[in-house]
Structure 1
Amino acid sequence: MWVMLIFHFSSEPYQKQTIIPFLHQHFNEDTVRRLLPDVTVHYLHSAISAKSDPFGFIEFVFRKSAHMFVYGVFAIVVYIALYPLRLKLPYSMLASLIIVAGIASLDEWNQLFTGGRTSTIRDVGVDVSGGMLFLLIFILLSKWARYIKSKNVKKSALL
């Protein structure tokens, strides 16, 4: 189901997804420009400057963050789906990230055929980074929750 959502969004043309018209409608560009730090991101063959193009910068950060979120959640879903196989932790993480990389690659290939979209291996890196980050956070939180639960069980056994 999550993969279908990914491919649905990657099949939409850029013009349908851009948030720049929304930003122009609801925010004053000069005010936003003053609030943003003087940061420029070099991505592919362009420089995205927060000061010279604040809405373009916000959209860039928003889109890359959305990629990281979507693929982060996907990595967790895959990891949980692999749990019944009882793979050791490094192998289940690696398998999850390989599947994320495969779907991200297919997603970029799909974008080759979508109007106004660019397809780049760098975006696969962003997607896999999101998967890795979310997976690490999920695993650490899971281990911490088990630790807290085991401490509570030991305390209740003493009472």
Structure 2
Amino acid sequence: MVQGAERMIIGIEKGFIKNITRVALMFFWLGIIILVPNNELEKEYVYPVVQDSERIEQIVMTLPQIQFHYAGRFHDSYANPIEFAQFTMRKSAHMVLYGFLGLSFVWVLKGFGVNGLRSWIIAGLLVLAVAVADETHQYFTDGRTGCIEDVIIDVVGYIILAFIVLSLRKFKT
């Protein structure tokens, strides 16, 4: 009887540590999104890399011309290839960050017994809520703009990463 109780306690401790790890990872991704202003990252890391790179400009110019409106601005890959590369890198980073945030939400939910499709849907709704909150905050911050297009980009990042993870799981089995 004592041995069974010890196993149960050890199992609870392992589960607790696992859940703490899951929650810590979730807060890590939230922290990156909320605490690190994107403008500072862009100026410090993205702009210097792209600004002085003739190679990136050459790569953009070899691609078919891409033109579109985004958040009230017109983007043209041939008219300004450096700006286009910077824009693409920033939005790709958004997709990746929110994708991993969503996966961490799924992981936390599963740790607390929410499984299957339900965990993926709830995680998607949480990603949407964080994206809306972030863009709302940006809208009211001087020097920043909040826009619905960024919310869509963020949620699409989660959907793509969720699709990849779920597809890989099906492929494994």
TM superposition score normalised by structure 1: 0.78
What does residue range 90-129 of structure 1 map to in structure 2 within 5 Å? 90-129=117-156
| 2:62 pairs with 1:48 | no
1:4 to 31, 34, 50: 31
Matched position secondary structure for 1:19: helix
Query: How many Å apart are 1:12 and its aligned residue?
Result: 4.2
Asked which structure has the greater RCO (Cα within 8 Å, sep 6+), the reply is 1
Q: Counterpart amino acid of 1:108?
A: E
% identity of equivalent residues: 27
Per-residue CA deviations over 1:97-152 (Å, capped at 9, x if unaligned) read 0111111111112223444322012211110111111112112212332x1xxxxx
Q: Distance in 1 between matches of 2:160 and 2:128?
A: 14
Contact 1:13 1:114 in 2 (8 A): no
Gaps of 5+ in 2: 1-27
Say which is worse superposed, 5-14 or 133-142, in terms of deviation: 5-14
Match among 30, 50, 56 for residue 23 of structure 1: 50
**What stretches of structure 1 of length at least 5 have no aligned partner?**
148-159
Secondary structure of 2:143's match? coil
CA–CA distance in structure 1, aligned partners of residues 113 and 81 of structure 2: 48
Is the contact between residue 64 and residue 126 of structure 1 (CA under 8 Å) also seen in structure 2? yes
Provide the residue aligned with 1:81 in structure 2.
108
Which moves more between the two structures, 47-56 or 101-110?
Answer: 101-110
Alignment partner, residue 67 of structure 1: 94
Q: Is the Cα contact below 8 Å between 2:33 and 2:97 reproduced in 1?
A: yes
Give the residue type in structure 1 aligned to 2:128: A
Taking a change above 3 Å as real, the CA distance of residues 28 and 79 of structure 1, as seen in their structure-2 partners, is closer
For 1:62, the aligned partner's letter is M
Residue identity matched to 2:91:
K
Q: Does the 8 Å contact 1:13/1:116 carry over to 2?
A: no
How large is the Cα RMSD of the aligned pairs?
Answer: 2.4
1:60 positional shift: 1.2
